[in-house]
Chain A
Amino acid sequence: MSARTPSMYSDDARQRAARLGLRLGRPNLEEFAATLTEIAARDRNVMVVTSDSRGSGKLVGFGQRLPKQIVEVGIAEQNLVGIAAGLAATGKKVFAVSPACFLTARALEQIKADVAYSDHPVVLVGISAGVSYGALGSTHHSLHDFAALRAINNVSIVAPADNKETHAAVLYASQAVHPVYLRFGKAPMYDVHGPETGNHVRSAMVVREGTDVAFIAIGEAVIHALLAAEDLYDRERISCRVVSVPALRPFDQGPVLAAARECKALITVEEHSVCGGLGEACASLLLESGARTQFKMVAIPDEYTVTGSQADIFRHYGITMEGLARTAHRLLESI
């Protein structure tokens, strides 16, 4: 981990968030750990399996409080998933927690065969996902996990945008009777939801109304889309809708199709490779539905990323308030 963790937000973006009154919450990972600990304290059938990852998973407290409900497998992700599946087959509600990069690559066959195909309802928890590990480099980035898991049947794929979606996601996963993948980063997150939305993860939610451009965003990229939307309206009266898509499976198509009908342009935003994630899911949906709209995918291009912190990488690829505002401008100008 780098000694300094630069802010994910420019001064302008922070000021924008402050003017909007957005609360800066805790990292989704911490919200996950706290919610899970509460659930597990009430139900001894809830168990956690870690691969030398309880520290990074913020589960040290869980281990101290509920030592009989945590299984450590050492640095062995394949074993993590296989053991989790076996535990689930004895009726345990199992959360298998490991860095997303290793969990969804090293153990992909175990996810496919032991969890998804065998239908043992394990909750796979990918921590420090996307480019959270920043300058640790591409070995530690998970920019493939949406694509890999979308191509594996029978795994829900959930990437919460803020603490509220995270809380809802953990509740959803704890009650799921089929496999679920949860994806968390480690940066503190602003709230993107007001009181009315964000209470569940099964449907995509409009977090800001608008008619010129629609940002369709997932996970920890949603906040940047929301700040860009506010910025565009405040400066230029460009009206932007923001849709948070917590789940790629089940994929709630309605709000995406509505945005395509009701807005002039549509921009997808994700902390994932441009290959196989939210953008391509929306592209295929729109084309198949016959929608005609200007469309742009903002994601990590098909390359090993520029080096730097998570903030540097986001800025480099335009997953920031400023970058997304620029993209929206260019797209509107092309109409």
Chain B
Amino acid sequence: MSASHALGVSDRELMIKSLEYRKDVLRIISHAGAGHTGGSLSSIDILNVLYNRVMRISPARFDQPDRDRYIQSKGHCVEALYVVLADLGFFPRSQLTTLCEYGSHFIGHPTRKVPGVEHNTGALGHGLAFGVGLALGLRHDDLRNRVFVLLGDGELAEGSVWEAAMAAAHYELDQLVAIVDRNRLQITGPTKDVLSSEPLESKFGAFGWHVRTVDGHNVAALTNALTVPPPQGKPMVLLADTIKGKGVSFMEGVLKWHHGVPDVDEYRRAMEELGAALRQVGGHQ
């Protein structure tokens, strides 16, 4: 991938953003004493590429019908979304530290009271059907805007996901993109042990979807997978292979960080690691 991307931001700039976002995620979770650390860190690169490179969306035109839509079906990883929306200017960054405070709109799952959020989520298995409805509505108005729905791999045990998957293929919604943050862990343990949803490639394929598998932490690969259009008439699913807790060595792939909150020492170590990584890619500390 070239250093400067056609859409205005280079891969290196995105990598820097990802590290800064990770620091912000840890900062607000640490401040609040609550949050879904592991999943926010596994999904942050996906959100980064979507919001900074792929989607046609901005605070200025959030009320325009011809905007792209992002639905975070795995609503619990809301800290990643808050951090990215703040960076895009949907609200002042200072509001991030009200996370989970009395009276704050910045609660543990997305709501439309937060600028930039399209839909209230939190109960799993809801986002894809909502996305199907959005895509049908856009098509009804002859708009070609795209709809992106982020799901967790654990979430795929919800039957309603597959009802929506059937409808998306039936209605040939090639404007709709599902992204599975396949970090392979859920609150009880490895997804393959709790209730295996694999093999996802063939399952989604059998449901009539165009399937792409991608490294969910590689901004260039994500960009490519999200910008090359799927075959006409096919909804697309991106199986993004990710690591829960990605970016902090002692959190990566460790179950307790599903919603673990770092203590003072863990926070310091995590920030040091991310700072070192930032220096390595030439970003500010």
Contacts and interface: CB of A to CB of B under 8 A. Distances in A.
Q: Indicate, yes or no, whether A interacts with B.
A: yes
B134 A89 contact: yes
Given A73-B167, A83-B167, A118-B112, A78 B129 contact: yes
B120 interface: yes
B167 A76 contact: yes
Interface in A28-75: 44, 47, 68, 71, 73-74
B273 to A, nearest CB: 37
A79 B140 contact: no
Interface in B114-147: 118-123, 125-126, 128-138, 140-141
Contact of A86 (B121, B122, B136, B166): B136
A241 B119 CA distance: 46
A90 B65 contact: yes
Nearest to B119: A118
B213 interface: no
Contacts of B170: 74
A91 B129 CA distance: 17
B132 A109 contact: no
Contacts of B122: 113
A112 B126 CA distance: 11
B137 A92 contact: yes
Contacts of A44: 140
A74 B170 CA distance: 10
B143 to A, nearest CB: 8
B58 interface: no
B121 A89 contact: no
Interface size class of A (residues with CB under 8 A): 20 to 34
Nearest to B164: A79
Contacts of A92: 137, 140
Interface centre among A90, A91, A92, A109 (most CB of B within 10 A): A90
B198 interface: no
A107 B30 CA distance: 36
B163 interface: yes
B140 A47 contact: yes
Given A71-B136, A91-B137, A78 B119 contact: no
The number of chain B residues touching the other chain, given as a range, is 20 to 34
A161 interface: no
A308 to B, nearest CB: 34
A93 to B, nearest CB: 11
Contacts of B164: 79, 82-83
B160 interface: yes
Contacts of A87: 133-134, 136-137, 140
B140 A82 contact: no
A74 B166 contact: yes
A71 B171 CA distance: 9
A85 B137 contact: no
A157 interface: no
A104 interface: no
A88 interface: yes
A225 interface: no
Contacts of B163: 73, 76, 78-79
Nearest to A47: B140
A109 B160 CA distance: 11
Contacts of A89: 118-119, 130, 133-134, 137
A117 interface: yes
A312 interface: no
A79 B167 contact: yes
B149 to A, nearest CB: 10
Contacts of B133: 82-90
Contacts of A86: 119, 129-137
A114 interface: yes
A119 interface: yes
Contacts of A174: none
Given A68-B140, A90-B140, A114-B126, A82 B112 contact: no
Nearest to A106: B160
A259 B67 CA distance: 53
A79 B129 contact: yes
A83 B138 contact: no
A110 interface: yes
Contacts of B137: 86-92
B130 A79 contact: no
Contacts of B123: 109, 112-113
A80 to B, nearest CB: 8
A118 B160 CA distance: 18
Interface in A84-139: 84-92, 109-110, 112-114, 117-120
B187 to A, nearest CB: 19
8 contacts: A47-B140, A78-B125, A86-B135, A89-B134, A91-B65, A113-B126, A114-B120, A114-B130
Interface of B: 65, 111-112, 118-123, 125-126, 128-138, 140-141, 159-160, 163-164, 166-167, 170-171
Given A82-B164, A85-B119, A120-B119, 18 more contacts: A74-B167, A76-B167, A78-B160, A81-B129, A82-B126, A82-B129, A82-B132, A82-B133, A86-B131, A86-B132, A86-B137, A87-B140, A89-B118, A92-B140, A110-B129, A112-B123, A113-B126, A117-B120
